[in-house]
Amino acid sequence: MKLRLFEQEQVKVKRILTIAVVTALSAITSVSCSQNKDVLVTEIGISPPNSRIAQTSAAGNLYVQAKNQHLRGDLQGAIATYTKVIDVDSDYAPAYQSRGLAYFDAGDKQRAIADYNQAINLSPNDAEAYNSRGNALASLGDNQRAITDYNEAIRLSPSYAEAYNNRGNARAAQGDNNGALNDFNQAISLDSRYAIAYNNRGNARAAQGDAQGAIADYNQAIRLNSNFGPAYNNRGNARAAQGDKEGAIQDLQQAAGIFQAQNSNDLYKQVMNNIREIGQ
């Protein structure tokens, strides 16, 4: 089984959710070793709260509390506190955006989208909210609507590297590898240390048959983040495609160790299956 890992970033990364999808990334499905699969690895999280917010209002004080709960991984507590913020001030747009992230993190995509909708209604120039809603739509396989949201995020914030990266993933999901490559190039031009975008550009290059170019991108992703499991996994696949069995197994073993340490058990098992198949 060849398992290629894409990454899609939403705000600042704290945890990883994995969604197994078919090769075109167009529908959620289970992973089977009987055919090639790609896995979209959606990283989501929140940035630390600004303590100055607490000085502005009762709602702001609650908002800081909720963000700290979210950062600690207390999703239900964070959702409850974000809801209190909204009860105190129903026009507090950041609370809807952040509660949407918490719902997404908890796996409730529909409620996440509802909150992003409200955040956008209250703050129509919030590029982050469009990017977040795009990620939720993409995770549900609605890549065309996701691209529409990423387009709006980029229109509002032309230097928004994450939105280019995410639109690249959605375009790759639709089979538009040239469009995806252009987006990953743009993300990298905006942020030369964007390891996720290098990883994803490597996948786009691999899909076009450019194994050497793909490996160069995976190398750069690993140089930027030596604990980047998906890049080791993908470089292992590329090396296997070139007949470098020993190098492939070394990379896949490195990826497996990282996924195990991160408690990403499904990815760990899938990579171990891949190692066994290559070793046969």
Which residues span the domain enclosing 23?
A: 3-45+125-279
Judge whether 219 lies within some domain.
yes
pLDDT at 41: 40
pLDDT at 158: 98
Judge whether 120 lies within some domain.
no
For residue 159, the domain's CATH number is: 1.25.40.10
- Whether the pLDDT of residue 38 is over 60: the answer is no
- The H or E element that residue 18 is part of is strand 15-21
Judge whether 264 lies within some domain.
yes
Judge whether 269 lies within some domain.
yes
Domain total of the chain:
1
Q: Which single residue is written with the structure tokens 């450019």?
A: 210
- Whether the pLDDT of residue 24 is over 90: the answer is no
Structure tokens at 275: 């190692």
Judge whether 68 lies within some domain.
no
Mention every residue, 6+ apart, whose C-beta is less than 8 A from residue 223: none
d(CA 263, CA 133): 27
Judge whether 275 lies within some domain.
yes
Furthest CA-CA distance within the chain: 63
- Whether the pLDDT of residue 229 is over 80: the answer is yes
Of residues 161 and 51, more confidence is placed in 161
Judge whether 141 lies within some domain.
yes
Structure tokens at 147: 């691209």
SS (H, E, C) 125-139: CCHHHHHHHHHHHHH
- What pTM did the predictor assign? 0.83
pLDDT at 25: 25
What percent of the chain has pLDDT above 90? 78
- Whether the pLDDT of residue 31 is over 50: the answer is no
Question: Model confidence at 280, in pLDDT bands (50, 70, 90)?
Answer: confident
Judge whether 102 lies within some domain.
no
